[in-house]
Structure 1
Amino acid sequence: MPPVAYGWDDFKRDPVRHVVIPLLVEFISQFTMTFWGVMVEKPQYDDFNLNTTKPGDMEIDYMSKYFAPAFQSGISVWICIMVYSRMSYAPAQFSPAITTTLVIVGTVPALMLVPNIIMQCLSSLLAAYVSQLIRGAPPPALIIPEDVGSLSILFNEIIMVASITIIAAELTQNAKVNEPLGVFGVGMAVFMCLLSGRWTGVVCLSPSRVFGPAVLIGGPAWNRHWLLWTSDILGAIAAGVFWLLFLAPEDRSWLGRFTKQKEKKTDLLMEETKRHNESE
C-alpha cells in the first residue's frame, strides 16, 4: 500500500472518504480482534467471582496458557490485515502503537491519530460487552501480577512493540515487500512476542485491545494499566524513528538528508576553493 499523503483540505473536500470510512474500518477491525481474543482466551480469574488465580491453584500448561493464545492472536492479526487493509486509504491498525508508528512514517495522517485511538477503545469496549452477553460471564482481562516489576514490563513491551511496528511501517511504505508474506510476518511477529509473556508475566502489544475488558472488569484489571499505554507508545515512537533513520527511502531518510547536506556543503567548499585558486 503506498504512503498516504492527504491533509486538512482533503478532509474538508471529502470527509466520508477520508474520515468516516477509515474510522468505520478501524472500529470493525478492532471489534473483530477484541471479540476473537476474549472469546478464546482463558481468564486469569474465576469468571463469576473475579478472584485472581494463584500459581499453585492449577498446573501451568504451556500449550494452553501461552502457545495457543499467542498463535490465535498471530493468526487473527494476519487475517484482519489481509481483509481490512484494502478497505480505505489507510490500512486498519487496531492498535494505538501501530497507529502511532504509521503516523510517524507517513502512512496515516496525523489528524487521524487521536480519532483512530478513540475508535479503537470504543470498539474494544463494545466487543468485550458483546462477549460478556454471549458468555454469560465477564470477559478475560489482562491483569498484571503484583510480583512482576514495572521495569520488566516497560522494557519488554518497548522492544516487542517496536519489533512489530517496524514491520508494519515497512509493509505499508515499501512497495517491494511481498504483501502476503509481509502481512504473515506481522502475524508471526505478534505470535513470537506474546510467547515472551511466559517470562515477564504479561504482554500487551495493543492497549486498546485490553481496554474494553478492563472497563468491564475494573479492579485488578486497572492495576498499572497506564504502564501498558506508556510502554507501547514509547515502543511505537522508537520504531518510527528507527524506520526514518535506517529504512526510509533516501529522499525521506533522516540519515540520507544529513548525508546530502554534508555532501552539498563539501561541494560548495570545493567550488569556492576552485574559484579562489583560479582567481590567483
Structure 2
Amino acid sequence: METSKFSKFGAEFIGTLVLVLMGCGSAVIAGANGTTGVGLLGISFAFGLSVVAMAYAIGHISGCHINPAISIGMVVAGRMKASEAVYYIIAQVLGAIAGASILFFIASGKAEYSLTAGLGQNGYAEFSPQHYSMVSGFIAETVFTFIFLLVIFGATSTKNINGGFAGLAIGLSLVLIHIVGIPVTGVSVNPARSIGPGVLVGGQAISQLWLFIAAPILGAILSAVFWRFILEKN
C-alpha cells in the first residue's frame, strides 16, 4: 500500500522540526556554558543523532530526507519525481521554522537570553564562528554536502547489503561533517536547517541565507550526477 502524500508531508515536517530543535538547541541551550557545555563534539553528535533517530522513526514513511538538498539530489539521481520533491521541500522549510520557533520559546525562558544571541543560525565572514571568509564557507558547504549525499546514495542503494544500517551511516557522516565544519559556518548542508533559525533571527542571518541555500543545492546536484553517471553506471 502506497504511503499518502499527507503522511509523507507530516513525516518530513516533524523530522525537520526535530533536527532543528535538537541540533540547533544543543548549540543554543547546551553548547557554550563553560565546563558544563557539550562543546563542538556534543553539538556535532546532536545533529547526527537527530538524523539517526528520525531515520528509524520516519524513514519507512518518507525516506527521511528532512533536507531540501537531499530531495533535489534524489530528483537528479532519478530516485524521485520533481513534483513529489516540491511538497517535501515545503514541509521541510515549515518544519524547520517550527523547530526554530519552539527553540526560541524554550530559550526565552532564561532571563538573560536575547534573540541577538542567536538560534544556531549559520554565517560566514564576521558571522562565521571562527571568521572564515565567504569563499571558504561556500566551498565547505558545497563539498560537505557532496560528501553527505554520496553517503546517502550509497547507504540507501538497493545494491548495498547493509542497507539496514543506512540511518546510522548517514547520521554518523553528519557528525563527521559537523566536527570539521562548525568552525567555518556552523554547518548547514541543509537549506531548511539554515532558513528556520535565519528567518527568526533576521538581519544579517537572512542576508547570508543565499549561501546556505545555493551551496548545499550545488553540492547535492554534483553528488547526484557523480553517483548516477560514474559510480552507479553499469
Shorter chain as denominator, the TM-score bin is: 0.7 to 0.9
Residue pair 1:95, 1:209 contacting (<8 A) in 2 also: yes
In the other structure, the counterpart of 2:197 is 213
Q: How does 1:17-96 map to 2 (within 5 A)?
A: 17-42=3-28, 64-87=38-61, 90-96=62-68
Distance 1:144 1:64, change over 3 A: farther
Distance 1:202 1:235, change over 3 A: same
Q: Helix, strand or coil for the counterpart of 1:86? A: helix
How much does 1:145 deviate?
A: 3.7
Give deviations 1:76-95, integer Å, cap 9, x for gaps: 111111221112xx402011
Q: For residues 60 and 204 of structure 1, what CA distance do their matches in structure 2 show?
A: 24
Letter aligned with residue 26 of structure 1: E
Matching residue within 66, 91, 96 for 1:119: 91
Q: Name the % identity.
A: 22
Higher CA-based Rg: 1
The number of residues matched between the two structures is: 219
Q: For residues 242 and 76 of structure 1, what CA distance do their matches in structure 2 show?
A: 27
Letter aligned with residue 16 of structure 2: Q
Q: For residues 177 and 98 of structure 1, what CA distance do their matches in structure 2 show?
A: 22
Give deviations 1:119-158, integer Å, cap 9, x for gaps: 1111111111122222225433223342422211111111
Between 1:232-241 and 1:186-195, the stretch displaced more is: 186-195
For structure 2, the 5+ residue unaligned runs are: none
Residue pair 2:121, 2:186 contacting (<8 A) in 1 also: no
Q: For residues 220 and 65 of structure 1, what CA distance do their matches in structure 2 show?
A: 24
Matching residue within 131, 138, 159 for 2:143: 159
Give deviations 1:47-66, integer Å, cap 9, x for gaps: xxxxxxxxxxx9998x8442
Distance 1:108 1:18, change over 3 A: farther
Q: For residues 81 and 157 of structure 2, what CA distance do their matches in structure 1 show?
A: 13
Q: Helix, strand or coil for the counterpart of 2:28? A: coil
Between 1:112-121 and 1:172-181, the stretch displaced more is: 172-181
Give deviations 1:206-261, integer Å, cap 9, x for gaps: 1201211111110132242101111100000011001112332xxxx2xx4xxxxx
In the other structure, the counterpart of 1:242 is 226
Residue pair 2:68, 2:192 contacting (<8 A) in 1 also: yes
Between 1:98-107 and 1:137-146, the stretch displaced more is: 137-146
Residue pair 2:194, 2:209 contacting (<8 A) in 1 also: no
Residue pair 2:26, 2:42 contacting (<8 A) in 1 also: no
Deviating above 4 A after TM superposition, structure 1's stretches of 4 or more consecutive aligned residues are 58-61
Distance 1:238 1:184, change over 3 A: same
In the other structure, the counterpart of 1:140 is 120
Q: For residues 147 and 34 of structure 2, what CA distance do their matches in structure 1 show?
A: 28
For structure 1, the 5+ residue unaligned runs are: 1-13, 44-57, 257-280
Q: For residues 120 and 86 of structure 1, what CA distance do their matches in structure 2 show?
A: 17
Q: For residues 11 and 33 of structure 2, what CA distance do their matches in structure 1 show?
A: 41
Q: For residues 108 and 237 of structure 1, what CA distance do their matches in structure 2 show?
A: 13
Matching residue within 69, 72, 96 for 1:97: 69
Between 1:219-228 and 1:187-196, the stretch displaced more is: 219-228
Distance 1:142 1:241, change over 3 A: same
How much does 1:113 deviate?
A: 1.9
